[in-house]
Structure 1
Amino acid sequence: MTADAGTFRPVGEEVLSAAWGRLTRYTYDLRLRDGTWQRQVREVYDRGHGAAALLYDEAADTVLLIRQFRLPMQISGQDPYLIEVPAGLLEGADPAERMRSELMEETGYEVGPLRHVSDLIMSPGSVSEYVACFTGRYRREAQAGEGGGAADEGEDIEVLHVPFGAAMEMVRDGRIRDAKTVMLLQHLALERGGRMSDVVLRPPCPRDAVDEVLHLRLGPGQDSFVGAIRQMVGETRESVDFHVIRAGDEAVGFFKIDRAYGEDSGFAGPDDYGLRGMLIGHQYQGRGYGRAALEALPAYLRRRYPWVDRVRLTVNHRNPVATALYLACGWRDTGEVAEGGRSGPQAILELPLKLAVGGSAEV
């Protein structure tokens, strides 16, 4: 419902540009709250309305995002390669149908039903556009086309399959700043009950701050895989950084990053770092915190250790549940085995930290 003549009186308008969108200068009288009238002049940009969609692969627990160059960000001195949800202009089409065609064009995925979430007003001070926002489901292996956008329109779109927890960490650390993308990710977090978005990884702690995790308990037989907690947090080597996993105000776990892993392990490159002793306290297990922490870990490590290409770890062959979880969260089985030690043979896994450039990638 627009304002009536009792509060708004148009005076005139002048089209300043109509090359792609339309930029118009409007003159009008507006009645203020105190009852007086004021003449105002504003410029409004109209390029039509749009649609956007966040697709979620429930089995893989990933979201489908894209990365592309945005000139306004370049002009304003910011990183121009934005991570976003697929989107496009309606140009008079039905929003859901237009979104399906945009998804195919930009990502190569055909989708079924899309659920309408909201019509977002993007920048009401100067732009008339709203964006119809949707959520839907996809399966990564069901890609039907190449995607990448319309080459004749200058689009060069990179497709990203991002673990949900990592995407939420990217919202927290500012790597995802596009408004519609942030809103749709937060909407998905609410639909999931906020379980993943509750988990936060904290930076290296001073040695005297590790007492906050001594309340954590090990499950039956777990010490054969990770060692006693006091022993684990009592690490004295300067090359080992201690990190806390928090859910809300509680410390629910921790992990250690060994910066000398490549020198000490005997099965890693000289520049490799190592993940040691990742633990969720027994009293907090079964709530999804371990998976959430692992999904947030790649983005967290890239931010804290941007010079590192990969991280390695070992997992006991008698702990297939942990191995499966690491693999589901982006770690790769190298096929190598670390022999010896009190726990027996260990599978060697690695996590690449450098993002792929071009084509389909996983963050």
Structure 2
Amino acid sequence: MEKTALIKTVSLEFYKNEDESRLKGYQLPEEQLGFTSMPVPAIEACLQEDDRHPIIIQYGEDIAGFFVLHGKGGAIKYSPNEQAMLLRAYSISSSYQGKGIAGESLRLLPDFVKKHFPDKNEIVLGVNHSNHAAQHVYKKAGFIDQGLRITGKKGEQYVLHMQL
């Protein structure tokens, strides 16, 4: 009998309260902590604003990553487009980095936004000018630098756009 390899798939799911215990082992390398928020504080911020939506990146049955989709209240700083959605607090847990999960999750993102937020026609994000690895991943996934810059908590950020 031939053995078949189990292939884990990447999927995007809305965070649910029962996911909390699965985030306990979520870690980021020290050098990445300056560029993004850890999931728990980001989830707490979501509880304060209705237009912040916490999303988990699943790899098989495991939580491999996390991000927040923030509606007009967050996107307005990055785009004058009222139908834009801000991607923020994006990260992949340390033990899942380097496996292509980030690229695959970003490839799934446009369809996820179109399905769950059909009034949105753009995704925007801010990435720190010194976070070269993240810039590469975002641009490879189709985000475009249109030349807009903002000043974030950690200095200059490039604003990247993806039309839906």
TM category (shorter chain) comes to 0.7 to 0.9
Match of 1:31 in 2: none
Tell which structure's C-alpha radius of gyration is larger: 1
> Cα distance 1:311–1:266, how it changes in 2: closer, same or farther (>3 A)?
closer
Aligned: 1:218 with 2:31: no
Q: Would the aligned equivalents of 1:199 and 1:293 in 2 still touch at CA under 8 Å? A: yes
Alpha-carbon displacement from aligned partner over 1:92-132 (angstroms, at most 9, x marks no partner): xxxxxxxxxxxxxxxxxxxxxxxxxxxxxxxxxxxxxxxxx
Coordinate RMSD, CA, aligned = 2.0
How many residues are matched?
156
> Cα distance 1:213–1:331, how it changes in 2: closer, same or farther (>3 A)?
same
Alpha-carbon displacement from aligned partner over 1:157-215 (angstroms, at most 9, x marks no partner): xxxxxxxxxxxxxxxxxxxxxxxxxxxxxxxxx9xx946xx10111x334x34513232
> Cα distance 1:276–1:268, how it changes in 2: closer, same or farther (>3 A)?
farther
% identical equivalent positions:
23
Shift of 1:328: 0.9
Partner AA of 1:216 in structure 2: Y
Mapping of 1:217-296 within 5 angstroms? 217-235=27-45, 236=47, 237-259=49-71, 260-263=73-76, 265=77, 267-296=79-108
What residue ranges of structure 1 are gaps of 5+ in the alignment? 1-189, 354-363
Q: Would the aligned equivalents of 1:258 and 1:276 in 2 still touch at CA under 8 Å? A: yes
Partner AA of 2:27 in structure 1: R
Counterpart of 1:336 (choices 148, 154, 163) is 148
Counterpart of 1:346 (choices 153, 157, 161) is 157
Match of 1:84 in 2: none
CA distance in 2 between partners of 1:210 and 1:249 (Å): 11
Equivalent residue of 1:218, what SS? Answer: coil
Q: TM-score, normalised to structure 1's length?
A: 0.40
Q: TM-score, normalised to structure 2's length?
A: 0.85
Structure number with greater CO (CA < 8 Å, separation at least 6) is: 2
Mapping of 1:52-71 within 5 angstroms? none
Q: Would the aligned equivalents of 1:315 and 1:348 in 2 still touch at CA under 8 Å? A: yes
In terms of fraction of residues, the more helix-rich structure is 2
